[in-house]
Structure 1
């Protein structure tokens, strides 16, 4: 088992933007390694303005 937590990625269903927990969204005030559940509910997609409800977890 790895000592590193498994980070997930979430895709905007409107425009395809990918939020990676490992890298966060520093330009939008979300630091690296911020889990999706810890991203503020009022955060919106930086590319199209979609809400968190418009994102779906994706696997790479």
Structure 2
């Protein structure tokens, strides 16, 4: 999927992503409370997935440069 097909979402590529509220999505942990298995990359999360802490959309997250 092309980067611009994500309608302004963060750039593609693995890694951790941080929400403005401080929550960090880490593929090594997934999101077990929302049935997201370990190893799920951020860009592979469902389009309706939201921050478990503040409910912001994926588009509000930014990639953590490592």
Gaps of at least 5 residues in structure 2 are 1-13
Q: Distance in 2 between matches of 1:59 and 1:20?
A: 13
User: RMSD between aligned alpha carbons?
Assistant: 1.1
- Give the TM-score, by structure 2 length: 0.73
Equivalent residues, number: 53
More strand by share: 1
Which residue in 2 is equivalent to 1:51? 57
Does 1:33 pair with 2:51? no
- Give the TM-score, by structure 1 length: 0.80
* Higher-Rg member (1/2): 1
More helix by share: 2
